[in-house]
C-alpha cells in the first residue's frame, strides 16, 4: 500500500468517524435556517433577513473593525426598518387629502360680502384653544384648525342660531368630534323625526291587530297585568333635547345629526358601561338590553356629561325678573347678565368653588330634567274610584327634585372624600396674564377656562364616568319559584258506587234530624 493511499484511507476513516455525511449536513443547515426564519420581532422582522442586511452592509462597506462595529450596524439597520414602518401609507394619505380638500376650498362670492353678511354663529375656537393650551389641555393647533374648518362647513350647509365645539370622544376604532348647535323651532328635522315615530307606532298597532284577529276562533286568556306607564321624552328645544348635536369621525367627513333621546336611553345608560367604536349603527350588546344603537348611547352620554360638567363663571348669567319661579322644579331659563365684567381669578380658584355655577339643568333619576307624574297617564275611571285619603297619600308618587340652575359647583357631592372639581390657575409665575381653569373629577376629560369675559367648556375623553370600583354588570333576576300545589287544583279520583251511597246517606240524615226538630218545636208551641 502506498503512502498516498494510506493517507487517503486514513482521511476517509477520519471523515467517516468525525464529520457527518452530506445528507446530515444539509439537514442541520435547513433546521438552523428554519429556526432563524421563525425568530421574529414584534414588528414582524425575522432574524434571517436582519442578518442578511447586516452582512450585506459589511461586505459593501468593508470596515476595518467589523467585529467591533457589528452591533452598531445592527442597531442602525433596525432603526431604518422602524422608520419605514412609521411612514404612512400613500393610499391612506391620498384618501385623507381628498376628504379634507373641501375644507380648504374658498366659498362662492366671498369677496363681495360685507361685514353684516359675514356674521355667523361660527365660534373662534383658535382663541379658545390658546387659553386651553395654557392649562395643558387641547388637541394641537393643526387638528384644532381642521376642526374649525369642519365647523365652518357645517355652518355653511345649515342655518343655526348658535354653534360651539362640544369636544372629542375617543373610540376604539374611530373618534367622534361633537358640535353643539341650537336650531330654529321650525325645522324640517322635526318633521322627519315625527314621521319616523308615527310609522313605528302604526307598525306596532298593526301587529297588535293581527295578533287579536288570529285568536278570535279560540281566544286565549288575557293577562290582567298592567305595565308601568312609559315616561314621555322631552320635546326638542327643552330639557335634555334642548340642543342638537352633530358628530363626525374626522374633520372633513360628513356631519351626522344625532337623534333626540328618551328617558329610557338615559336611565339604561347609567346601568351599563360600553366603549365607543366610532360606528353609529353598531348594536349595543349589554345587560340590561339597551333600546337603541351606538348613536343613541352616544347622545345619552353627551346629555349626562353636559348636565354635570357645563359650568360658567358666577354672575355671567342671571334669571329674568319677569319670569316667575315654577311650582315644580324651579326656573328653567336664564339670560345674559349685561352688568357682568368678568370674575377675578381669586374667586375662580377659591377652595370653596363658589366662583363657578352650573348653567345646564340637572337630569333626574327619571331621565328627564322636569319630573313627570306617572299618575297623569292613568284612566279617569281609576281616578274616580273611592279611596281613603291615607291610601291615596301612600300611593301618590313623590316628585323627584334636583339642584336648581346656577348652583355653585362647590355644592356637588364629594367622591370618596375627594371634591368633584379641582380649580387652578394656569401660571403662578405671571398671574396677571394667566387664566383660571377647572377640571371635573367625576367625568375625567371635562374642563372649563375663564379669563375676563371669555370662557368656554370642552370635553376630551372616553365618555365614561369615574368609578371608585371596577365595573360590575347587573345580575339577571332570580328565577320564579314553582307554584305550590294545593287541594283546590289537585286531580281527584272518581267516586265508587259505595262512596256515592255513603254520601247520599250522610246527606239524608241531616234532613231527617231537621224535620224531627221542627216537629218538637211545633208541639211545644201547641202546649
Report the DSSP pairing between strands 436-440 and 421-425.
antiparallel
Residue 115: the pLDDT is: 61
Residue 207: the pLDDT is: 39
Q: Is the peptide bond before 288 cis (omega within 30 degrees of 0)?
A: yes
Residue 13: the pLDDT is: 41
Residue 211: the pLDDT is: 47
- Give the global pTM: 0.71
Please report, for the chain, the start and end positions of each structural domain, with discontinuous segments joined by +: 125-186+229-372+401-461
Of the pLDDT bands very low, low, confident and very high (cuts 50, 70, 90), residue 390 is: low
Residue 308: the pLDDT is: 95
Higher pLDDT, 109 or 152: 152
For 210-237, give the secondary structure using H, E and C. Answer: HHHHHCCCCCCCCCCCCCCCCCCCCCCC
Span 196-222, pLDDT tens digits: 554 444 444 443 444 444 545 677 878
Higher pLDDT, 317 or 193: 317
| Percentage of the chain exceeding pLDDT 70 | 76
Span 185-195, pLDDT tens digits: 555 455 455 54
Of the pLDDT bands very low, low, confident and very high (cuts 50, 70, 90), residue 247 is: very high
* Burial zone of 405 (CB within 10 Å; 0-12 exposed, 13-18 middle, 19+ buried): buried
* Burial zone of 199 (CB within 10 Å; 0-12 exposed, 13-18 middle, 19+ buried): exposed
| Main-chain phi, psi angles of 178, to 5 degrees | -110, 130
Residue 183: the pLDDT is: 79
Of the pLDDT bands very low, low, confident and very high (cuts 50, 70, 90), residue 27 is: confident
What does the mean pLDDT of the chain come to? 81
Whether residue 351 is predicted with pLDDT greater than 80 in this model: the reply is yes
Whether residue 501 is predicted with pLDDT greater than 90 in this model: the reply is no
Residue 158: the pLDDT is: 83
Whether residue 362 is predicted with pLDDT greater than 60 in this model: the reply is yes
Of the pLDDT bands very low, low, confident and very high (cuts 50, 70, 90), residue 22 is: low
- Rounded mean pLDDT, 248-263: 93
Residue 45: the pLDDT is: 75
Beta bridge partners of 440: 421
Query: In terms of Cα–Cα distance, which of 285, 283, 290 is closest to 268?
Result: 290
Whether residue 282 is predicted with pLDDT greater than 90 in this model: the reply is yes
Span 486-498, pLDDT tens digits: 777 777 788 888 8
Highest mean pLDDT among 15-19, 241-245, 481-485: 241-245
C-alpha cell belonging to residue 16: 467517516
- Rounded mean pLDDT, 452-470: 92
Whether residue 109 is predicted with pLDDT greater than 70 in this model: the reply is no
Residue 135: the pLDDT is: 87
Residue 394: the pLDDT is: 64
Residue 216: the pLDDT is: 53
What is the Rg, in whole angstroms, of the alpha carbon atoms belonging to the chain?
A: 40
Whether residue 311 is predicted with pLDDT greater than 80 in this model: the reply is yes
Residue 327: the pLDDT is: 46
- In DSSP notation, 400-428 reads P--PPTT-BGGGSPPSSSS-SEEEEES-S
Residue 106: the pLDDT is: 72
The number of beta carbons lying within 10 Å of the beta carbon of residue 165 is 22
- Rounded mean pLDDT, 24-48: 78
- Rounded mean pLDDT, 137-145: 91
Higher pLDDT, 24 or 317: 317
Whether residue 47 is predicted with pLDDT greater than 90 in this model: the reply is no
- In DSSP notation, 36-92 reads HHH-B-TTS-BHHHHHHHHHHHHHHH--TTHHHHHHHHHHHHHHHHHHHHHSPPHHH
Residue 299 and residue 259: Cα distance in Å, rounded? 7
Whether residue 444 is predicted with pLDDT greater than 90 in this model: the reply is yes
Whether residue 11 is predicted with pLDDT greater than 50 in this model: the reply is no
Of the pLDDT bands very low, low, confident and very high (cuts 50, 70, 90), residue 348 is: very high
Whether residue 372 is predicted with pLDDT greater than 70 in this model: the reply is yes
| Percentage of the chain exceeding pLDDT 90 | 39
Residue 190: the pLDDT is: 52
Residue 57 and residue 167: Cα distance in Å, rounded? 51
Give the range among 24-38, 121-135, 152-166, 442-456 with minimum mean pLDDT.
Answer: 24-38
Whether residue 367 is predicted with pLDDT greater than 60 in this model: the reply is yes
Residue 488: the pLDDT is: 75
Amino acid at each position: 500500500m502506498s503512502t498516498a493511499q494510506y493517507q487517503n484511507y486514513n482521511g476517509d476513516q477520519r471523515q467517516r468517524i468525525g464529520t457527518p455525511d452530506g445528507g446530515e449536513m444539509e439537514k442541520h443547515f435547513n433546521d438552523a435556517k428554519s429556526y432563524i426564519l421563525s425568530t421574529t420581532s414584534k414588528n414582524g422582522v425575522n432574524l434571517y433577513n436582519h442578518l442578511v442586511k447586516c452582512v450585506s452592509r459589511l461586505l459593501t462597506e468593508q470596515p476595518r473593525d467589523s467585529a467591533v462595529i457589528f452591533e452598531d450596524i445592527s442597531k442602525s439597520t433596525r432603526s431604518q426598518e422602524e422608520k419605514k414602518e412609521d411612514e404612512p401609507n400613500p393610499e391612506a394619505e391620498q384618501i385623507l387629502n381628498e376628504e379634507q380638500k373641501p375644507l380648504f376650498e374658498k366659498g362662492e362670492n366671498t369677496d363681495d360680502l360685507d361685514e353684516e353678511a359675514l356674521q355667523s354663529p361660527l365660534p373662534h375656537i383658535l382663541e379658545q384653544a390658546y387659553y386651553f393650551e395654557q392649562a395643558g389641555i387641547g388637541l394641537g393647533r393643526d387638528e384644532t384648525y381642521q376642526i374649525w374648518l369642519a365647523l365652518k362647513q357645517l355652518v355653511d350647509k345649515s342655518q343655526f342660531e348658535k354653534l360651539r365645539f362640544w369636544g372629542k370622544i375617543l373610540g376604539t376604532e374611530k373618534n367622534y368630534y361633537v358640535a353643539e348647535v341650537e336650531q330654529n323651532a321650525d325645522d324640517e328635522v322635526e318633521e322627519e323625526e315625527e314621521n319616523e315615530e308615527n310609522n313605528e307606532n302604526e307598525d306596532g298597532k298593526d301587529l297588535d291587530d293581527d295578533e287579536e284577529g288570529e285568536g278570535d276562533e279560540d281566544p286565549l286568556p288575557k293577562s290582567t297585568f298592567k305595565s308601568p306607564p312609559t315616561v314621555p321624552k322631552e320635546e326638542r328645544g327643552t330639557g335634555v333635547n334642548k340642543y342638537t348635536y352633530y358628530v363626525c369621525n374626522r374633520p372633513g367627513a360628513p356631519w351626522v345629526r344625532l337623534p333626540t333621546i328618551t328617558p329610557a336611553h338615559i336611565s339604561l345608560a347609567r346601568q351599563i358601561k360600553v366603549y365607543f367604536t366610532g360606528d353609529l349603527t353598531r348594536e349595543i350588546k349589554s345587560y340590561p338590553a339597551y333600546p337603541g344603537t351606538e348613536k343613541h348611547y352616544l347622545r345619552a352620554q353627551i346629555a349626562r356629561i353636559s348636565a354635570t360638567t357645563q359650568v360658567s363663571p358666577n354672575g355671567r348669567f342671571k334669571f329674568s325678573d319677569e319670569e316667575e319661579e315654577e311650582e315644580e322644579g324651579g326656573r328653567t331659563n336664564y339670560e345674559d347678565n349685561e352688568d357682568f365684567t368678568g370674575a377675578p381669578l381669586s374667586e375662580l380658584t377659591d377652595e370653596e368653588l363658589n366662583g363657578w355655577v352650573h348653567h345646564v339643568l340637572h337630569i333626574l333619576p327619571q331621565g328627564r330634567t322636569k319630573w313627570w307624574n306617572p299618575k297623569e297617564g292613568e284612566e279617569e275611571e281609576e281616578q274616580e274610584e273611592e279611596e281613603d285619603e291615607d291610601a291615596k297619600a301612600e300611593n301618590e308618587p313623590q316628585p323627584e327634585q334636583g339642584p336648581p340652575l346656577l348652583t355653585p359647583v362647590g355644592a356637588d357631592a364629594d367622591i370618596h372624600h375627594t371634591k368633584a372639581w379641582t380649580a387652578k390657575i394656569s401660571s403662578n409665575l405671571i398671574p396677571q396674564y394667566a387664566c383660571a381653569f377647572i377640571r371635573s373629577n367625576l367625568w375625567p376629560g371635562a374642563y372649563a377656562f375663564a379669563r375676563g369675559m371669555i370662557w368656554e367648556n370642552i370635553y376630551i375623553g372616553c365618555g365614561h364616568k369615574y368609578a371608585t370600583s371596577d365595573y360590575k354588570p347587573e345580575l339577571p333576576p332570580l328565577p320564579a319559584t314553582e307554584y305550590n300545589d294545593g287541594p283546590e287544583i289537585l286531580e281527584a279520583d272518581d267516586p265508587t258506587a259505595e262512596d256515592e251511597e255513603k254520601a247520599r246517606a250522610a246527606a239524608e240524615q241531616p234532613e231527617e234530624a231537621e224535620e224531627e226538630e221542627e216537629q218538637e218545636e211545633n208541639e211545644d208551641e201547641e202546649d
